[in-house]
Structure 1
Amino acid sequence: MIEVRQQGAFSVNSVGMERRPFPLSFSVREAEGLWRVRAGAAQAGELADLLVSVANDAVAVVSLETNSYLDEDWHPVRPSLIAAELGVPCTVHSLGSWAAGTNGLAEEFLVMDRDLLPRLLDGSWSPYELTLIDVPADVTEEQLDELALVLGTTGIDNSLLSRLGDSRVWFSGHDDCYVLLETRDPALPAAVLARLLALLAGSALAELAEEPFSHVPEPGPWLPEQLIATAPHWNGALGNVTEDLVTIRLAALPGPWRLGVSFPEQADLTATLDVRHGTWRISPAE
């Protein structure tokens, strides 16, 4: 059971000038024991527990940009000051001026115990850019410099973890909505897809009840695993929503969903949440 806030990613984001509801999107590909996922819509805080469940003992926040914390001159506050404000203990590793302007790198890394990541991303603020990667608890300054070099020289479409032998998960979030992650854990992609389904259903229930949040059960692993085995790329949109049932129309796509691509005229499958019994089922679309 997860708590879905009314101000979650599916609720606060929309598509186009018409402000159409934001769709669920999911795409996965596997190569040489690494899984890369593109997905939406999810805030970093809505996935934090999934990320730390597969991570090493520590997490390095290597890029953080937000308008939620600004100084008196309206300049962004340093990530270390944000962590201090939120009461999150961490080690600060300064990269210096050489990292300035390098895409995906801040001038300082925050290294913290992995279990502190949910506290950092507690939902009271929103990062429009966030990149993190897990590291060993005893990571050295030299290793962090090497990590920065790898991050700064790896193209966005290239595998990152293949160049980092110790890390198990890399996450990049844009607009606290779009998700790109790479992992060595074969179960994480299905867990992310299950979370997206629960977040979409929960956002609809919270709006219907006009409550600040709703509690929603996640589908069992069998459901996202069945979807991934059927097709690697999916688009989802809400169907009928009542207090008792939430339906999500799912369409397999030929490639990853992109902003501006409309939901296909015909759905392939329907995922249904039975709210009273807390169960999910999947069936052919009518």
Structure 2
Amino acid sequence: MRGRPFPLGFSVREAEGLWRVQACAAQAGELVDLLVAAANDAVAVVSLETNSYLDENWHPLRPSLIAADLGVPCTVHPLGSWAAGTNGLAEEFLVLDRDLLPRLLDGTWSPYELALIDLPADRSAEQLDELALVLGTTGFDEPLLSRLTGSRVWFSGHDDCYVFLETSDAALPAAVLARLLTLMAGAALAESEQEPFARVPEPGPGLVEQLIAAAPHWIGALGGAADPTGTEPLIAIDLAALPAPWRLGEPFPGRADFTATLDVRRGTWRLR
């Protein structure tokens, strides 16, 4: 909004052995390896809307046709009229092997709405109908995974930017925060005139765990020059704790509680 640079937003809360994360800015394809690592053997894509795949009448293609165009084998489970369109559900579920999810989200296209959930590989058609019923009757602020058996990860993305995540994997929230810091540092490096590097390393778990222990809600923005002499390529990300999850248009506070700094040449992070 108003052309300001997009901040890093991260919020986590735990209840009943589940962790709920709100985050930005990250595309689904930038987090897919983290989701796959925490997921069961199969994944159901339960909502998919995009302007990247349109028919001759400018209507969005069904998810199964998108998967076919990308060469991703999957099982298609059609939903009846009682479920389609409810709570953002698609007309059909795509059920695929979790290791095929990176191929589906390959970066050549962008979904403006995407929701997926992991499943045991032997889910029956009746169980998928039950899943649709649970998804269609669970409120946004209600825990979802506690109403399901065997699922570990629920992901919902809006505008391929805003992330909502629910998981029973205690390590996944910290991994998401580490990825957000890496993405912001990588974007800054790509836009700078510094020498390009093939890979931006992620901060270790100790750094992000320190942030999560300090506060549940964070906003981050690129800081000033971390190296006043300009002799070392350093990228600084200022981080401020918030009283509630970040909302669109909310500016960075007047102070930073922490600064995470990446030493590009050494590939190391530090937090102060």
Identity of aligned residues (%): 79
Per-residue CA deviation, residues 28-73 of structure 1 (Å, 9 max, x unaligned), is 0001100000000000000000001010000000000000000000
Higher strand share: 1
Q: Which runs of 5+ in 1 are unaligned?
A: 1-15
TM-score by length of 1: 0.91
Conserved 8 A contact 1:234-1:257: yes
Q: 2:17 aligns with which of 17, 33, 39?
A: 33
Question: In structure 2, what is the equivalent of residue 131 of structure 1?
Answer: 115
In 1, Cα distance between equivalents of 2:261 and 2:178: 12
Q: Give 3-state SS (helix, strand or coil) of 2:86's partner.
A: coil
Distance 2:201 2:236 in 1: 14
Alignment deviations for residues 53-100 of structure 1 (CA, whole Å, 9 cap, x no partner): 010000000000000000000000000000000011000000122223
* Paired amino acid for 1:92: V
User: Which among 122, 140, 149 is matched to residue 156 of structure 1?
Assistant: 140
Match of residue 201, structure 1, among 179, 182, 185:
185
RMSD: 1.5
Matched residue, 1:93: 77
Q: Which residue does the alignment assign to 1:107?
A: 91
Q: Please list every run of at least 4 consecutive aligned residues from structure 1 whose deviation after the TM superposition is greater than 6 angstroms.
A: 210-213
In the alignment, the residues of structure 2 paired with residue 217 and residue 280 of structure 1 have an alpha-carbon distance, to the nearest angstrom, of 8
Counterpart Cα distance in 1 of 2:114 and 2:197: 24
Structure 2 letter corresponding to 1:25: G
Amino acid at match of 1:45: G
Aligned equivalent of 2:254: 265
Q: TM-score, normalised by structure 2?
A: 0.95
CA–CA separation in structure 2 for the residues paired with 1:234 and 1:88: 36
Shift of 1:260: 1.4
Give the partner amino acid of 2:107.
G
Is the CA contact (8 Å cut-off) linking 1:48 and 1:118 kept in structure 2? yes
Residues paired across the two proteins, number? 267
Listed one character per residue, the Cα deviations across residues 100-145 of structure 1 (whole Å, up to 9, x for unaligned) are: 3312210100000001101100100000000000001111101100
Give the AA of the match of 2:208: P
Q: Answer yes or no: is the 8 Å Cα contact 1:206–1:214 preserved in 2.
A: no
Gaps of 5+ in 2: none
Equivalent residue number for residue 238 of structure 2? 249
Which whole-Å CA distance do the structure 1 matches of 2:167 and 2:13 have between them? Answer: 11
* Partner-residue secondary structure (3-state), 2:248: coil
- Tell me the distance in 1 between the aligned counterparts of 2:10 and 2:65: 34
